[in-house]
Structure 1
Amino acid sequence: MAVIHQTTLVPTKLDLLTGWLPKQPWYVAGSGRPELARAGGFRLDDPAGEVGLEFMAVADGATTYLVPMAYRAAPLAGADAALIGTAEHGVLGPRWIYDGGHDPVLVTQLVALIQGTAEPQAQRQSHTPDPTVVARPASTERLTVTGIDTADTAAGTELRVATGAGTLTVRLHRVLSAAPADETVPGVVATWLRPDDTPVRASYATASYRPA
């Protein structure tokens, strides 16, 4: 179960994202510097207990973004381009924070969530599952991740995940829709909050599977 330490992170996640978000191809250009606020999300567990895994919804005015993040105690080899930034955690020490679509642990656990073998956790409470996160499998097969290819475009992030038996394609919806999600579609549906705390059920990711 995810453990949430009630401590400091310097700089904060929102501080790091303020500089990082405008550089992404899926960012919706605004006038001036982003003004960010937390808008929801959830966490996943790393079975090895080494990497923190969070799916954060971040609001910038009328636009809400999905930013999956992986928190590591050391740099991830070959992932410099996916580094959001570094921060000092009050309990755990230095953290290297990566865009989760490029982190193999996060992608593997996202696949497990979609396929029903990982349990979503509350974003800000320790040892607490989040029953509001709904996942629908893209295949009835047991999928083992053997390779990951990540592509960031203006439309979002596409993960092509090799499984040995076929390819699972997962699309991360970087700009979250305010329209109600179809919860029967394979993928992940979770809640984000409007500024007035009205909940929105949105598709965080959709998935499709092609057998080999």
Structure 2
Amino acid sequence: MTRYLAPLLFGLIGAGILVALGLWQMQRLEWKQAVLAEIESRISGAPEPLPTMISPEEQRYQPVELDGEILPGEVRVLVSQKQIGAGYRIVSPFRTGDRLVLLDRGFTADAFKDASRRTGPAHVTGNLHWPDDRNSATPENDTKANIWFARDIGAMAETLGTEPLLVIARSVAPGDPNIDPLPVDTGGIPNDHLQYAITWFSLAVVWLIMTAYYIARLRKTGET
């Protein structure tokens, strides 16, 4: 019997550690769901005035409602859409009162990248955002060809002569027939904790099966 004790303990302890990791991921899942719910509530909240002092951490996703004027000029940020393919986010200067800010109007397909855009008076609802588009693999923006690979707010503001403040449109009225708004949402925020939990629990099951198999082999060997 003692010959089975060590592998049995090894199997139970290993499975216990894997189950604990799975339970930890379930706790992380609950935490992430609460964070996402808070972000969704923030996104859909009541509009607030444009801030005079910029604080990205406090003002991220702040809803705004603006009346003003879309001015000529644009930055094109390369993106792709499912079932459509490659295209561009169109970012234009927007004047509201005595403020001049960046307006991410949404997506236009590659076929319409050189189309004329509607400018002039507009009513905009949207959210402030400081997107994190750039990573170590992101190419440098080709500003001469007006092909941007990330929404670098400082560089876009310098190019278009605006404040470094970006509004992601949820709606623009009147709209442009070739631009579809890409509003802020939580779809791009990863939440893989359930998959991780399932992986750890599955490994615990496999660990126990392999332990039982090993003990069965030991018993068979002992009998022969």
- With normalisation by structure 2, the TM-score equals 0.22
- As a proportion of its length, which structure holds more strand? 1
- With normalisation by structure 1, the TM-score equals 0.23
The higher-RCO structure (CA 8 Å, 6+ apart) is 2
- As a proportion of its length, which structure holds more helix? 2
